[in-house]
Structure formats: C-alpha cells, structure tokens
Structure 1
Amino acid sequence: MKHLKPDNPPMRLSHLILVFMACFFTTNAQLVVGNEVLPFDPALKPFYHGVASGDPLADRVIIWTRVTTAEDTNVNVKWKIATDLQFKNIVKTGTVITNSDKDYTVKVDVTGLNPKTTYYYYFSALDKNSIIGRTRTSPASKANYLRFGVVAAANYQSGYFNAYSQLAKRKDLDAVIHLGDYINEYGAGKESEGYSKERVDRINIPNTELLDIADYRTRYSLYRLDPDLQAVHQQHPFIAIWDDHESAYQAYKDGATNHNKGEGSWETRKAVSKKVFFEWMPIRDTKKYQIYRTLNYGNLADIILLDTRLEGRQQQIFDVNSKKLASADRTILGTDQKAWLKNELQSSTAKWKIVGSQVLFSKFNIGWAANQLNTNADALESAFLDHWDGYPAERNELIDFLADNNINNTVLLSGDMHASLGLEVKHEAQQKNIGVEFAVPSISSANFNELEGNATANYLDANLASNNENPELKFSDVQQHGYMILNVKSNSVQADWLYTDITEKPDYRKKNITETHGESWYTSFNDNTLKKAASASNTKPNQPALAPSKSPAFERNKQFYKNLSEVMSVHQNNINGDSKLVVQHVAYQSQQLIFDIYDQNGKSAMDSIQKEIASGVQLTEITLPKLKKGSYFIRVSTDDAQHIQKVQID
C-alpha cells in the first residue's frame, strides 16, 4: 500500500513511481517477514485498520478510517480527496476530530462531488498519512452498465477471506453490496463455530461471546486487521446492511435465540451492536441507526436495502404446524418499513429495482430431504423459518402489491443461506412471475457440507433444483464459498457465482488464490424469468487504476520487526461492581504487558501488574484494585508501545 510523507502533497510523487508501485506492490496490509506473517503492519501506524468508503450517491460518498493513538485524547484528522492518484487535482479537503467516544474511528460524508466518477483519498494524523483509498460516486441520470460485487457471511475462524481478496483485484466494480453477517458474535476455542487446529492464526478475540461494547469493538478491530478485508475496502465503496451475527444469532426486534438469561439486557446489547456497526462501517449516519434506505444509480437501478432483523421483526415461530405462523399481522419488516418499501417500489423510475434483504424471500421447501438428514419433514421445514418462510402472510402481501401494481423487473438479493441460489418469484394465484431472486454464497461461514457432511450436501445439490417441491428454484450450490458479480444492463441483469477455497492460506507475495466460476443466470427486461447464461459477464474495459499498496514483504528486515508490538485499544468495563480493563494488543513475538495506574497528581495508585502476552492478536483482561472514587490514568505499555487512558472510578 502506498504511503505519503506527512504534510507532503502526493502530487510531488512522479507518475513513474506510482506505476512501478502499482505493478510490484502486494495488494494487502499484512506484513510477511521470511515465511512468517505478522499480525499487523507497523508501517501503517497509526492507521492499522486501513481505509474504507461507502454509501455512494451522485454527489457524495462516505470515507472512513481509524486512528490508533497512545493517549486517550481528541485527535485531529485531516483528509484529502482527488480525481487522480498523484493528487494533482484535489477537489476537497477537511479536518475532523475523533476520540474514544467513537472508538477513534473517522467518518466523513464528502459532498460536492461529480457523478459517476472515481476518486482517491487519504487521511493524515499524528504526523503520519494513511494508505490511499479508491471510491466511486453513482451516476446521476443516464447509466448503461453497472457491476456490483455481492457478499455475505464472513466467519473469521472458519477460514481465509479469499473472496474479498479476489474482489479487491477487480477494477470495474461500482460498489460491493454486503448483505450482512460481516462479523460473527461467537467465542473462540475447540467448541466454537469454525474453529480448526489447522488455522491457529484464525482465532476469534475476544474468546467469549460478544456482549458489551468492548467485545463488539474488539471483534470489528480483529476483522479489520485482516489484509484481504482491508484490501477490498481500500478499492471499492461498500453498501452494507447488518444481519443477525452483528448482534446475536437469529435476532429479532425484542430478542434473539442467542441472547440468554444472564447475558444482560437485550435492548442494551442491541443498542451497543448498532452503535459499533455505525462506528466501524462506512455507512451514512442516522439518528436512530436506521439501515433501510435507497441508493439511486441513475435511470438504471435503485438499490433498495431492507432491515429484516432489528427494525420490526417479530419473534420467530419454529413450527410449521403452528396456526400463528400464517397470521395476517405477523411481520418481518414492521409497519413503517413496509409502507416505506411499497412506496420505494411504486415510485421508482429506474429500470431495475434491486432489493437487498438479509434473508431468503422465496419459498424454500426442504422437507422432502428429511430421510437423508435423519429427521422428520416437519422438523426440517421448521428449521428454516427464520427466513421469509416464517412470515408468509407479509410475503404474500408484497407479492400481491407487485402484481397488482404491475411492478416488473424486481431483483431480490439475499444472504444468510450460505448457498448460491437462483429463483423466480411467482404470484401463485395469477400464475405469473413478479421478479427473480439471487442468493449469495458465504465468504467463509459454514455451508451445508460443513454443517451436515458431504453426502448430505451432494444429495441436496443433486436434487434441490430438479425436484418438483421447488419449481421456482433454477440453480443451487450449497457447498461453495465465494461471492457474486451482479451485472446490470438496460436489457438484462445477470448473476455470476464465483468460488474460492477458504482453506487455501493466502501467499501474500504471489496472491495466487484459486478462483472458479460456478454458473451464471440472467433475467431479461420485463421478463421476470431466469435463463442460464453461456458464460460469465464481461468486465468493463478501460477502468481507473486501483489504489497502490505497500512495498513487497521480502524488502523488509526481520530483525527490525521482531520486537514490535502495539496496543490497539483499551476499554473499561464495570461488571458486578468490579472495574476491569480490556486491552487489545498485537505483537510479533511474546512480550510483557505492564499496567500502571496514576491519580490526577501523577502519583502511583497501585503496584505495577505484569502480564506475559503471546504473539499475534490478543486480548488481556485486568481486574482493577479497589480505588477511591475519582479520575485516574491507566498506562498500558510494552517494550515498544504504550497507551494512556483516563478512567473514572465511581
């Protein structure tokens, strides 16, 4: 990743140097020394978590970063945005303040931009500059061709984010649409989801389930240290919504299957998870952390994003025989969001209405496979009622609305299934299709084969799209991980499913990740049916250059880095009357972590506490001694780094 000298405008760098860097620098933010991978790149300091952008409109876009600082104080952060990599044409600059209230994240809504334009940006703070990010605004009126990456469901422990790496290499994407499960809230260890002794470098921190603000912030920090996730954020704007794992498994408005007795207030946990999502994601801020919204892409497409999780969803009923299941007043959207959605669909003047939903909208009948899964049909069908199948009356209401108002060319995108699916959405009474749906595979979260075994997954792949229980299902693959490319033109929308191996450990010198093409299906304008394409869609020609990345790993000196460490964050938690410090730190090799506490006069308030820390990304928790009420300063230090933070003891 390309670095700029502090306060030295990048316009002074020659075009030749930038071309050289673009050709020879790796496309990730992780440092390789010898054959070893460091858990962080010291050269990125203080912008260890990279840069990101999102929610592009015709005249504005969000840009994002995070500053790691040694002191708990306000930090001034400058930013610049230009139309060229050399920053000769700087169009906007500014300064913002970040602090611990925002977890030192920075988010700027840059306005006054031109439509359908690629921009480059970077941040400056603490006498350092960030890497350069690349983003793109949406078209204001006429558009002929759009391409989106579409992703969902990333579990850090389950494997490597190779799909993100592949998306980062593409030059021709207008944006990446993320349909949720950006993180996973589960703990770590042998009994936790995705754990493998073959991937000791992919262990969740904290190692317990996420419950409080320190937990959620630490997990996002872990994910954003991943080089492949950093790379895709660096190169493309994100259009993101949450699903359940950003808060808790099978969440709904008033609770979650994975929120249990003894885990505190659900309302508090939900509020914390929303706040941290808005801190760490390049999403436009709203007063109530509302994520349902529409992004317009000229006359070609409206991207309509839903919240089928936390906004209005009623509790799931996991019983297909329950009479309450078909109740007319059951809702997955809530009254306000449903009215908003109908208005967005009816008032849209775009050729295509692309609706992003966390969960599968179409019917998914699977009871016929009960014998293969050693269960009964009702129990198997009941297990899938977290989707729109669990809210059939409201789904039928929307299908009626689309049919009665002659709204065609609706393309639904869904995540959560961890499967590639292509479906037609039919109005059964009128015997006509009203749209199509494409479901995306998971980035790395467990698929059917990893949950139920290869034999079951092979059986489903052989029969799902061919049996008469799912006549609207045209394509399925329940075993592959990867992503989808959505190719939007005036006369068609095509989905290309592309797959990567999550067990293939990235080689950060060569980046030779294996990628395979599954299938491609398309729908034609005003047709509302799916047809299989002969090949994947063509890339856009003559696209702007990717943002440059850092120098090759083999140019680094291993001896120089071996003692380096960094304190990423310090959070204070007050639990059951005890005050605890939660410290996230990264180190190349094991070191000592030293804790000191001083009062406001600089006098030591306790003896130093020393903890041995292992290499990698780690979390340490310290219970503070009983202290008099008042303000204190905590110093957390290693051989190479320190963090000073003010805490209040009540």
Structure 2
Amino acid sequence: MTHHAPHEQEIRAAAAHFGRRRFLTATGAAAALAFATNLPGTGAAYAAAADARKITENPFTLGVASGDPLPGSVVLWTRLAPRPYEPGNGMPAAGVTVRWEVAHDERFQKLAGQGRAEAHPEFNHSVHIEPTGLAPDRVYYYRFRAGDWISPTGRTRTAPARGARLTDLKLGAVSCQAYHDGYFTAYKHLAQEDLDVVFHLGDYLYEYPVTAVGGARNYSDRTLPARFHRETVTLEDYRLRYALYKSDPDLQAAHAAHPFIVTWDDHEVENNYASDISEDHLPAAEFLARRAAAYRAYWENQPLRSPQRPKGADAQLYRRVQYGQLAQFDILDTRQYRSDQAYGDGWHAPGPQSQDPARTLTGATQERWLTDGWRASTARWNVLPQQVTFSERRNATGADHQVSMDSWDGYPASRERVLAGAEAAGADNLVVLTGDVHVHYAFDIKRDFKDPDSRTAGVEFVTTSIASGKDGAERPADWATYMAANPHMKYYNGRRGYLTVTLDQDTARGDYRTVSAVTTPGAPVTTAASFVSEAGAPGLNSA
C-alpha cells in the first residue's frame, strides 16, 4: 500500500473553508497521527521514481550540511529544491535517486565511501546519509549528485574515539537567526574559524511573517513571495520558511565548513510554547497538529540521525555525544517537556507558583537521563548545550527584583535538582552553553544564587544571536543594572555574533565574537571579550 503525506492543497482548501483555527482544532489529533504514519519506511511502496536526469534546474539551492559526529560516522544532509520559494520546490511528486560521496580530499580522488539514497517527496526530497566505517577525528569532504547536477562540496569531521586523549577541542555556539532582523554576516565569519564542531542552541528559524523586502534586510534587488508574509502554521509554511533561511549564502557557508549539532528552542514552532501549551493557550489538539508539522519540517531540514525523526508531535532531541576523554556533551530539549510558564510568562517576582517543586523544565525522564549520564561520565569537561539562561538573572538590585519565567529562573526547583545531580555525580568541570536571549553573557554558576559567596558549581557561556534583535548595542540600556544586580555575571554585551569555546586539559576558554551591524551586509568581526575557567577550580576570569 502506498503511503503519502497529507496533500497540502487539500489542507489549504479545508482550512480556507472552515477557517484555519477551527480546521486545525477539529482535525488536530488526526493530523498528528498522519504525520507519524504517512512516511516512507522499510517495506513501503513508494511513489514511482522520477528520472533525476530530467531535473533541468539546479536542485542544490539549499546547500549541504553535516552533523551529529560519531567516531566512525557523521550525518550528511541535503534537500532537492530547484525552486525553493515555491510549494513543492519545483520537484516532482515522486522519489529521486541521489548519489553521495565521502572523500579524504577536496578533489574526491580518494573516496572513503559512496552510495545512493532516495529523496522522497514525503520528506520534501531531503536526504539524511549516515555513512559508517569512517576513521575517528578525521576531516572528510562530501558531495551529492542528482542527475547531471553536483552539489557544493561540504567539509566535515568525525568525533574522536571514545578513549582518545585529546590535547584540545574548539567548538562554536550559535543561536537565534531571525531572517527578518538582518543578515547572517556572523555565519560568514564562523565559516572561516578553525572549529571541530558547531552547536546550534535553538531558534534556527522564526515563525513570524517576512515582508517582501526581507524585513530589516530591506532588499532593493529582489522581492520575496507574499506567501512568506504570514505566520508559519502548516507543514507547507514551515517547509518554505526553512527554504528561505537555508537559501542564505552565509548560513550555507557555515554548514559547508563545519558539522553542526542542533537542538531547538521555541521559535521553530511558536514563541514561548511549553510542551503542548501554545502561547495563546489554544486547544491542545490544535497546537499539537502545528507542533507535528514544525517538528517534521525541522527534521527534514537538519543533519539529524534517524532516532531523532519525529513520531507525530513528539521527537527525542536530547542526546549525548562524546569527544574522547576530554568532553561529554549532553544536548538538552527544554521546550517539549516543560511545565507551563508560571504567572502567565514574562518577568515576575519569584513566588509560590514558580517555586513549586513539582515544576520541571526538562521533564522527569530527561532529567534522570542527564544525571545518570553525569554519573557514568569520565570526561574532563561535562558540557551542557541547551536553550535558556541557566544562571539567576535579576532585573533590579532590590528585594523587589523580577526574573524571567521562561528561563531556568522560572523553574528554580528544576535547576536545583540538576545542580544537586551534578554535585552528587562529581561533575565538577561543568560548562553550560546557552542561547535564546540575543546577548552575550558570562556567568559563574553559584551553588546558591542567594549567597554570592557560595561555591561556584560551574560556568555558563551565553551566546548572542546571529541576527535576532537587529544591530544591538555593546552596552544595552539595562547593562549597569544587570551587572550590579547579578554579581556572578561577569560579562554582558548586546551586539550580534557567536561564541567559540576552547577546551583543553587545564582550561575552558570562551571567546565572544561580535559584528558591528546586521542590518547592512559585510560587517567585520571582532573578539569583544575572552574568559577562562580552570579545571578543578571553576570561575571565570578575563583572559
């Protein structure tokens, strides 16, 4: 029996007839189920294959990517889209054979692997290749072919062997790339860095409308189709929005230069959603239909392994990656399982509702997985790539201060359990990587934030946004207040950019990279500040 994804024209027609909200509410559970079942798999009878030689336009307009490195493998990704801004992307409603190659050299004279894969219309003609038998800690080059078309060449790197004794490791951390807020100039510079891996900490895209001139990009030489000037809700909406973002040349350059390990935050679905609770508190069935569409499009457009493929409105994105004996990375998902934000979200004084010990940011299962992983860890550094600010962040110096209900401050019991788990496991060299807030922060993680003299349990490096928030300022208006109200905050910068972190046996060093503008292209990059924490004696000092 042939399985097909729900036909987008039928979905749009039904939504127009009943009204989008009413339609999704009435059919939410059925749509979520359809996303789980109408996918190609072993033994399925696919739509008749199309002849790749009949593709008359370049299908590799969205570039290539790699991710989730293992010692002998790395995921290779591309998506066929000759017309990326059109529904269906100019591809036939049939599978297309894609050939792939992995090589030791850029000229592909010494191949390390090759094969064929089917780009299925059910997955929007994306492919996820998981080659095996590669050498650990090795640079490789890869490319794809469809008919007579050859993709750009990507460069990737496998993870070191689990027991490898590494001298050092350098990673990048990025987040929050609102297309409508500016150019992805920071990615152009990131592509030129010498990095082992890049962590994307969420908000890869935004659900908000994008105007014909690209919002703050203010294009004068092109016009975006009107279909982008609406909020993403349906599967087609999310797929097209990824096509818009992934057509950006600077983002393509970063993906082609480095393997990415990705996790999502809220805007990949909807602002500040919590589990099955939408920002506007829509019926759960309606929101889960939207979440299923968003999760499916996310997987289609990221270099993720098959265990991360969504099942309806659910996907296990939290996972663990080892880099020899030097670092263990526990990648979190702080959206899918969290309790609803206390006090209706926003900034509020801590109180009984936010301090309820039953509240969780990670869910009980993920929390146990995290602490169990720390107990088993033998790594020098235990690194926690995740989404929202972990350390306390007060907005005033007095007793009447407020904190963000969307961050770990809104879930203090959850934070305490995590810190207690790290302490019990002996995970002394704890490094938290954070995105979300569109600014650079550097924090000492205090064991008791109420006591500035309490033990420092680890450090937190918060990366600013790639574009979200437009140009920003080196010292935002609340800079002095925040620095005074939070003595454990060692740095605060409101420009756009990214973070690099270098780990060796003795130190963790964070370099805060910023660009002067994103509303105009081509800004230079600078290192605005650098901080170092010593192994065995956590706490940030200026480098």
- Normalised by the length of structure 2, the TM-score is 0.81
The question of whether the paired residues in 1 share the 8 Å contact of 2:513 and 2:525 is answered with: yes
Pick from 491, 506, 514: which aligns with 1:475?
Answer: 491
Aligned counterpart, 1:176: 198
Aligned counterpart, 1:462: 480
The question of whether the paired residues in 2 share the 8 Å contact of 1:181 and 1:242 is answered with: yes
Aligned counterpart, 1:352: 381
Aligned counterpart, 1:55: 68
| Alpha-carbon distance in 2 for matches of 1:349, 1:123 | 38
Pick from 317, 327, 331: which aligns with 1:291?
Answer: 317
The question of whether the paired residues in 2 share the 8 Å contact of 1:46 and 1:126 is answered with: no
Secondary structure of the structure 1 residue equivalent to 2:538: coil
Q: CA deviation at 1:517?
A: 1.5
Instruction: Give runs of aligned pairs for residues 373-392 of structure 1, distance below 5 A.
Output: 381=402, 384-392=404-412
1:442 and 2:442 matched: no
1:330 and 2:359 matched: yes
Secondary structure of the structure 1 residue equivalent to 2:490: strand
Please give the root-mean-square deviation of Cα atoms over the aligned residues, in Å: 2.5
| Alpha-carbon distance in 1 for matches of 2:442, 2:406 | 19
1:488 maps to amino acid? L
Aligned counterpart, 2:537: 527
2:478 maps to amino acid? L
Secondary structure of the structure 2 residue equivalent to 1:65: strand
Secondary structure of the structure 1 residue equivalent to 2:243: helix
1:269 maps to amino acid? R
1:422 and 2:448 matched: no
Q: CA deviation at 1:145?
A: 1.1
Q: Deviations over 1:265-293 (max 9, x none)?
A: 11111111111111000111225421100
2:379 maps to amino acid? A
Change (3 A) 1:128 1:145: same
Q: CA deviation at 1:401?
A: 2.3
| Alpha-carbon distance in 2 for matches of 1:189, 1:77 | 34
The question of whether the paired residues in 2 share the 8 Å contact of 1:403 and 1:427 is answered with: no
2:532 maps to amino acid? Y
2:428 maps to amino acid? N
Q: CA deviation at 1:198?
A: 3.8
1:344 maps to amino acid? G
Aligned counterpart, 1:225: 247
Secondary structure of the structure 1 residue equivalent to 2:330: strand
The question of whether the paired residues in 1 share the 8 Å contact of 2:197 and 2:261 is answered with: yes
The question of whether the paired residues in 2 share the 8 Å contact of 1:62 and 1:283 is answered with: yes
Q: Deviations over 1:392-419 (max 9, x none)?
A: 1111122222234432000000001111
Aligned counterpart, 2:428: 408
1:364 and 2:393 matched: yes
Q: CA deviation at 1:438?
A: 0.5
Aligned counterpart, 2:79: 66
Change (3 A) 1:78 1:488: same
Number of aligned positions between the proteins: 466
Q: CA deviation at 1:233?
A: 0.7
Aligned counterpart, 1:432: 455
The question of whether the paired residues in 2 share the 8 Å contact of 1:300 and 1:352 is answered with: yes
The question of whether the paired residues in 1 share the 8 Å contact of 2:268 and 2:298 is answered with: yes
Instruction: Give runs of aligned pairs for residues 179-328 of structure 1, distance below 5 A.
Output: 179-189=201-211, 195-196=215-216, 198-199=218-219, 206-257=228-279, 260=282, 265-286=286-307, 288=311, 289-317=315-343, 318=345, 319-320=348-349, 322-328=351-357
| Alpha-carbon distance in 2 for matches of 1:359, 1:404 | 23
Instruction: Give runs of aligned pairs for residues 606-645 of structure 1, distance below 5 A.
Output: none
Q: CA deviation at 1:86?
A: 1.7
The question of whether the paired residues in 2 share the 8 Å contact of 1:250 and 1:258 is answered with: no
Change (3 A) 1:400 1:71: closer
| Alpha-carbon distance in 2 for matches of 1:441, 1:258 | 27
1:144 and 2:167 matched: yes
Pick from 364, 370, 385: which aligns with 1:341?
Answer: 370
1:500 and 2:530 matched: no
Q: Deviations over 1:535-572 (max 9, x none)?
A: xxxxxxxxxxxxxxxxxxxxxxxxxxxxxxxxxxxxxx
Higher helix share: 2
| Alpha-carbon distance in 2 for matches of 1:324, 1:367 | 21
Q: Deviations over 1:588-636 (max 9, x none)?
A: xxxxxxxxxxxxxxxxxxxxxxxxxxxxxxxxxxxxxxxxxxxxxxxxx
1:397 maps to amino acid? R
Q: CA deviation at 1:500?
A: 1.2
2:61 maps to amino acid? Y
Change (3 A) 1:43 1:526: farther
1:49 maps to amino acid? L
Change (3 A) 1:528 1:43: farther
The question of whether the paired residues in 2 share the 8 Å contact of 1:156 and 1:203 is answered with: no
| Alpha-carbon distance in 2 for matches of 1:335, 1:198 | 45
Identity %, equivalent residues:
34
| Alpha-carbon distance in 2 for matches of 1:295, 1:425 | 23
Q: Deviations over 1:349-377 (max 9, x none)?
A: 110011011101100011349xxxxxxx9
The question of whether the paired residues in 2 share the 8 Å contact of 1:494 and 1:523 is answered with: yes
Moved more, 250-259 or 220-229: 250-259
Higher strand share: 1
Q: Which protein is bigger by CA-based radius of gyration?
A: 1
2:63 maps to amino acid? G
Secondary structure of the structure 2 residue equivalent to 1:386: coil
